[in-house]
Structure 1
Amino acid sequence: MTTPLSRRAVLRRATFITAGAAIGSSLVATPGHAAVKHADPDGVRKATQRARQRRDRVLTGIPSKNGWEMEKVADDHGTIYTRPVPGTPLEGVTVRMGEVETVLVHLIRRFHYEIGELRRGDVVGWRSPGTVRKGLPESNQASGTAVQIRPDHYPAGARGGFFPQQQLVIRDILAELDGVVRWGGDQGRWTDEALFSIDVKPGDIRLADVVNTIRGWQDQSGQGAGSPVDVASRPRREAAAALELRQRKSG
């Protein structure tokens, strides 16, 4: 037979349960307590080790000619991945994701529409650091910040690969991108007419500004790559000529 609880016993038990619940809630709600209570030192150590191994596998710690860090691998947990080039038959181009990607893809698309239709294999993006010469513009490919368009047609060291009208388009593209890209045909001794490289360092506000402009075009009909452009108009030619002079002087 169960003995009924007295009123005092019931109140004491209720008070105890309420206090216990309050303490438990405060402990669960306290980040410090939760972290200490549930911390897994072995798990943290393993996660740190995996991150270090991933960093060592991807990063070189060495900048390319334009100041961006070269990476050992592509499509493998770094910042360089194969990205689509809409409106072209290319399977993709391997470049640094984000702002660099936006600029270089825009350039490739304009080349395709206005200079010559591209086919699969015509564009080479990232190259392994071991296959480029450090300190030269070609090293920019190893940081995912440069592409070679039809390198077999325009081999390094050769000049005059483009017709005057084609060069006019190239100059217009560079001016449209406000000089954040440099053409390999202006490299003097190290000329490479197939090469187009980002020409600003990481964090340069000019790159962000150009990207915002390109993305704005993408939201407007009749703007951006593929839209009609009069590259021979006086304002555009003057802008292109001024940029060419500036970039040649800067080396």
Structure 2
Amino acid sequence: MTNPARISRRALLTRAAAIGTAVALPGSVLLSTPGYAAQKPYRTSVEQAVERLRERNARVLTGRPSRNGWEMENAADTHGSIYTRPVPGTPLEGIQVRLGEVETVLVHLVRRFHYEIDTLREGDVIGWRAPDRIRTRLPESNQASGTAVQIRPGHYPSGTRGGYFPLQVTVVRDILAELGGVVRWGGDDTTPDESLYYLDVRPGDSRLTSVARRLQGWRDTPGLGAGAPVDVLARDRRDAAKTLERRQRG
């Protein structure tokens, strides 16, 4: 038997990859694969890993989509896809959002709001909310999938309009246009919620990937991204914002 102290890094990575593959395979298929059968000493640990993942999925995942098509989750910060993420440059301790591209987009939006619309304080932004605490027929259900945030819901009550000053609305429109229309403002919905901003594309949409990559590039370049000087009244930016507004409101 191989001495554990002599196991190479490649061997460890190979076994880790085997466990990762196990997550995606039904148990009967997994146990019948030659690679699995050839690693009998590790069979028990793989079975235990798969069982732990099944238990985690049953505890965290709902199997139900929010309004925008992303799966709602029962908990955040518990080995699912939704975690508390930092919002650099703000007093916020963090917001609970879906990791990856969604996080990149929503954090950028919150930072621009803080810099250009009004200073945010801890507790002003609500990300994930449990599925049993939202109305699943409304866009607020997107919070349960980690793809939406509410900014100061107490200031902008659901069902009312006119909570923003005109210049603030201009900045909101500019942010939405900068994000390529992958985010929608709840103020444009039939039942308005001016505190709500949510992803308006489904999982796998290439537009989300494109926007997230652009934002990541800005984040790594001094003078670009949230906090950089922006002329929201520039003709090209206003034209883009108005075009998106007509499309989203229509």
Global fold match (TM > 0.5): yes
Partner of 2:135 in structure 1? 133
Q: 1:37 to 1:126 in 2, by over 3 A?
A: closer
* RMSD of aligned Cα (Å): 1.8
* Among candidates 91, 99, 112, match of residue 110 of structure 1: 112
Q: 1:124 to 1:42 in 2, by over 3 A?
A: same
Q: 1:105 to 1:38 in 2, by over 3 A?
A: same
Partner of 1:82 in structure 2? 84
**Which one has the largest radius of gyration?**
1
Structure 1 residues 194-213: aligned runs within 5 Å:
194-213=195-214
Q: Which runs of 5+ in 2 are unaligned?
A: 1-10, 16-33
* Among candidates 155, 158, 166, match of residue 156 of structure 1: 158
Partner of 1:179 in structure 2? 181
1:154 Cα deviation (Å)? 0.6
Q: 1:53 to 1:237 in 2, by over 3 A?
A: same
128-137 vs 108-117, which deviates more? 128-137
Partner of 1:230 in structure 2? 231
Post-superposition, which runs of at least 4 consecutive aligned residues in structure 1 deviate over 4 A?
31-35
Q: How many residues align structurally?
A: 219
> For residue 247 of structure 1, what is the amino acid of its counterpart?
Q
1:43 Cα deviation (Å)? 3.6
> For residue 111 of structure 2, what is the amino acid of its counterpart?
R
Partner of 1:146 in structure 2? 148
Looking at structure 1, the residues matched to 213 and 41 of structure 2 have their Cα atoms a distance apart, in angstroms, of: 43
SS at match of 1:229: coil
223-232 vs 35-44, which deviates more? 35-44
Partner of 1:62 in structure 2? 64
> For residue 97 of structure 2, what is the amino acid of its counterpart?
V
SS at match of 2:38: helix
What do residues 165-212 of structure 1 show as CA deviations (whole Å, max 9, x unaligned)?
Answer: 000000000000000000000002x21000000100001000010011
Percent identical across equivalent pairs?
A: 64
Partner of 1:8 in structure 2? none
Query: Is it true that 1:36 corresponds to 2:2 in the alignment?
Result: no
What do residues 103-136 of structure 1 show as CA deviations (whole Å, max 9, x unaligned)?
Answer: 0000000000000000000000000000011121
> For residue 217 of structure 2, what is the amino acid of its counterpart?
G
1:42 Cα deviation (Å)? 4.0
What do residues 19-66 of structure 1 show as CA deviations (whole Å, max 9, x unaligned)?
Answer: xxxxxxxxxx9x968953634554443322211110000000000000
> For residue 62 of structure 1, what is the amino acid of its counterpart?
R
SS at match of 1:220: coil
- Contact in 1 for aligned 2:59/2:74 (Cα 8 Å): yes
101-110 vs 215-224, which deviates more? 215-224
Q: Which runs of 5+ in 1 are unaligned?
A: 1-28
Q: 1:34 to 1:224 in 2, by over 3 A?
A: closer
Looking at structure 1, the residues matched to 234 and 166 of structure 2 have their Cα atoms a distance apart, in angstroms, of: 15
SS at match of 2:59: helix
Partner of 2:218 in structure 1? 217
Looking at structure 2, the residues matched to 33 and 199 of structure 1 have their Cα atoms a distance apart, in angstroms, of: 42
SS at match of 1:95: strand
Looking at structure 2, the residues matched to 122 and 37 of structure 1 have their Cα atoms a distance apart, in angstroms, of: 52
Looking at structure 1, the residues matched to 195 and 222 of structure 2 have their Cα atoms a distance apart, in angstroms, of: 30
Looking at structure 1, the residues matched to 188 and 36 of structure 2 have their Cα atoms a distance apart, in angstroms, of: 60
- Contact in 1 for aligned 2:129/2:144 (Cα 8 Å): yes
